[in-house]
Each structure stands twice: as structure tokens, then as C-alpha cells.
Amino acid sequence: MDVVDNAGSFAFEKQIQTLKTRSAATMNVDPPPWLTRPYSTQGPLNKKELDHFFQEGYLIKRDVFAPSELQPVMDDIDSQVDALAHKLLQAGRITDVCPSLGFYRRMAAIEAQCPGASVLLHKNPDLPPSFRALWSDPRLLDIAQQLLGGPSVPVAGHPVWNLRVKVPQTASSVVPWHQDAAYLDPEAAATLEVASRLSPPPYLPATPDFSLSSPTPSVLPFSSSQVTAWIPLLDANAANGCLQVMRRAHQSGRTARHTCCVGGTWYVEMDLDDASSRLGMDCRDESFWDTCEVPLGSVLFLSNLIPHRSLPNVSAHIRWSIDLRWQDAREPAGFWGIKDMVLMREGGKEGGTREGYLVDWDGFLAVDRGEAQSQAAARAKRAGEGGQDGGKVEGREIEGEGESGKDMVLAAAAAASDALTPVISGPWMLRWDLVHHNAHTAGFGGRAGGRAGGREGGGARGMAQGLTEE
């Protein structure tokens, strides 16, 4: 059982009083004690590893898997590549399925014939058995549960998971600086941020100092609400496009302003000037940019508020990776009501395969995330323009004339949901200023003019209302 002695409790209360007179910038120089202490001592991470995750915002855990254990994942990816290649051949998009090329070259050759083919693989909703086994592997669940609070916490898989195919010399595979929280529903994200700043970590006692009336909530403690595991399927390094993280930039518990969309992609990008002010540190100071080279079999764990990006792949081989997410099942997923979480471990139990907990994969996979998020974006856009939708998000009606709105929703989402159209769209595009239009934003008829956080501007405000008002 995790306990805090009287001395620790007194020190905690004293630290809270001190924090009320500090700035967020000062916090990053002298992090509060809960950023260097574990949520739970029960789990595979030692004190040094826990300290690193909570203070720096990330952790590279070495040798979680033997490389051979990831071979089933690679085999299933090979099958997906082969199936996609034959679909493109049948559609007349390519002339050669390149069967003789290996795992690290074949998709690049297909991409050369059909630009955007790698996006088709990325948006594929299939979750093969090996992916499911990896996501619910007890070794990953043990770490996620420890970071989320310990054995008492019920652990759910977040609806966002991704297979990344980083083809060499391809701009669309370079992800800019961002925080994962920037893709969340602004209301849910705000809830998570407030909770992270205003609630003490579970191993510390509650105090009257935590209240919504606190004059300086932005400098109160941060707790991780979602944990990401980034798992490369080769030795990831700077040459083939590993990740960089902006260490300690999560400590304020805030989400910086982002803009949408970068180049020809669906990615949002963090505004470094705004982030420097909002996150309380110089985000352009490269001394805080850590390059995370991760060997095959090792895993990079990230806080959902740590800024990170991927580097260009200048090697001769594809950099394959999978990113998986978990959170406390009692907290909101923040995914716009599009798709629910999948429970993987009940609080107080081992769960997973260790005690035979049966994950409801069928229920989870019943909703196609890509199609659902495209339709949600179209509904949101329609509502933001003051039009009539008649659609439904998370079981809630959006008032309107009905059929014309439904037709607009379905038509606008069609391109993004087409399995052979390399377009990805979603409601996050209307959360932030649309500074650049491309095929992905056109998929739901987006427009410029939204304001960060959905507080101002017709597009973002209408989006938030369309998704949340009954």
C-alpha cells in the first residue's frame, strides 16, 4: 500500500503555499516534489524511471520486448501492405505490387507509384490480432497502470491508436511540434487540464488549498491523464526519423495554442511563441529538445501534454512504429464522443491476459474511427455555419431541417472515409485556427477563422456547440 507519512504531508502542504507565489517558469527550474516521486511504487518502474517520466515528461524503457516478440506485428503489417497493394493494382493506381521487396522497402516502392498510399495504410481501421495482443500485453499494462496511479486504477485503451509508416524523404510523414492534448475535445481537454492542476496525485493527501477559486491554478500540480507508448519496429534513430521531445514542457499542465493544418497534412502544429508564454519556458531553447533514439524492443512512454515531434527520415528504409494509449477509465477520453475507450484492466485486478480479463475488442472495433471522425467534423462544421444538420453525435440530436443537413454531412465525409482516398479529417481541425487549407481540410469544408480552444470564432465555437449541446 502506498502511504505518505506525516512529514511528507506537512512538506506537501508547505510546498502548495510556496507554489502560490511562484510563476510557471520557476516551476520548470525547481519542479515540485510530486514530479519526482512515483504515483505508485507497485509496478515494474523503479524510482529513477518514475522520476524521469514525471519530471521530464517521458521515459525510454529498455528491452520491454525481445525483438522476436514483435515479429507477429510485422507479419500482420506485411499482410496489410499486400492487401493494399492488390487493391491499388485493381484500381489502376499502381502497376507493380513489388512482392520481392522486404518489410522496410516495399511500402516505399508502392508510395513512389501512388503518392499518398502510406496515408491509406495509416487510416486503415483494422486492428489485427497481434496489435490487440500488444496493446493489452501485461508488461505494457503494468507500466501504464503504475503511471496512472497504481493497481486500484481501471485502465482503458484510448480510442486513438496509430500505425505509422514513415517513408524516406516524404514530407507528409514528418510530424511537427505538438501536444497530443491538442487533438482532444476542448471541453474535455479543459476538464483534464483543470483536474491535473487542481487535484493532488493519488499518493498525496487532499488539502483545502486545491479549489477552483485558487488565484493561481496554472502553477498547481500536474498529473498525467493519458499515457502513450511509442513502439518502433526497428532501431529508431535520428537518421530514420525518431521522435524529439521538449522535456519538462508538460509541467504547467497546459495545452499551448496550435494551428492547422501543416503543409499537405492533417497535423496541427504548436505555436512555439505562444507555448513559451503559456508553458512557462523558452520552447525555442534547443537544449530542452531531447532526441529519443529507441532500439527495437524498447518503448518510449510519453505524457499527453509533453510537446514532441518526429524528425525527417533521411535513411534508405521505412521507419515503422505503433503508438498506443491508455488512461484512467473513469476520466473522459476527450475524443469528441466519436468512439469510446476499451477497458483493458479493472481497478484492483491484474486484468489483461494475466488473469484472463476478456477485452471487448468486437465492441471497440464496431465503430470505424476514421469514418466517424470525418462525419463528426462535417456535423460540427455545419453547426458552426449556423446550418441545419439533423445528424447525431454520441446519441445527441443536432437540431435542424434534417435531410439536407444529413446529405451535407455524408457528402463532406465521403472523401475522408473512402478507403482508397488518402484524406484524413476530424473535429480537431476546427478547434484551432485554420491557417492552411489542403485536401484534408477540404474533406469537411473547413474554413479559416476559428480561435484556439473553441472560445471565439464561428467555426470553433459552432463545432463545440454542435458536439456538446443537447
Instruction: Mark which of 324, 339, 365 sits at the end of a domain.
Output: 365
Helix-strand-coil split of the chain, %, nearest 5: 40, 15, 50
Find the length of the chain. Answer: 470
- Pair 383, 352 in one domain: no
Answer yes or no: is 118 within a domain: no
- 382 is in which domain, residue-wise? 369-468
- Pair 272, 419 in one domain: no
Answer yes or no: is 270 within a domain: yes
- Pair 293, 331 in one domain: yes
Q: What is the pLDDT of residue 351?
A: 42
DSSP character for 336?
T
- Pair 346, 374 in one domain: no
Sheet with 308-310, strands from edge to edge, namely: 289-292, 243-246, 308-310
Q: What is the pLDDT of residue 53?
A: 93
Answer yes or no: is 80 within a domain: no
Instruction: Mark which of 346, 365, 384 sits at the end of a domain.
Output: 365
Helices (H), 30-175: 47-56, 71-90, 106-113, 117-122, 129-135, 138-148
Structural domains in the chain (count): 2
Residues 66-87 pLDDT 10s? 999 999 999 999 999 999 999 9
Instruction: Mark which of 365, 388, 406 sits at the end of a domain.
Output: 365
Query: Please, what is the Cα angle at 28 between 23 and 33, to 5 degrees?
Result: 100
- Pair 217, 289 in one domain: yes
Answer yes or no: is 1 within a domain: no
* Exposure string over 151-186, b if 16+ CB within 10 A, otherwise e: bebbbbbbbbbebbbbbbebebbbbbbbbbbbbbbb
Answer yes or no: is 78 within a domain: no
Q: Indicate which CATH number applies to the domain containing 221.
A: 2.60.120
- Pair 275, 224 in one domain: yes
Backbone angles phi, psi at 403, to 5 degrees: -65, -40
Residue 296 three-state SS: coil
Answer yes or no: is 124 within a domain: no
Averaged over successive runs of 10 residues, the pLDDT of the chain (470 residues) comes to 33 34 34 46 89 94 98 98 97 97 97 94 92 97 93 92 93 90 76 49 32 29 71 98 96 91 92 94 97 98 96 97 95 84 81 63 83 63 51 32 43 58 85 88 52 33 24
- Pair 320, 178 in one domain: yes
Answer yes or no: is 440 within a domain: yes
Rounded to a whole number of angstroms, the distance between the first and last alpha carbons of the chain is 43
- Pair 348, 456 in one domain: no
Task: Classify the phi-psi angles of 423: left when phi > 0, otherwise alpha if psi is within -120 to 50, otherwise beta.
Answer: beta
- Pair 282, 234 in one domain: yes
- Pair 331, 406 in one domain: no
- Pair 171, 193 in one domain: yes
Answer yes or no: is 273 within a domain: yes
- Pair 250, 337 in one domain: yes
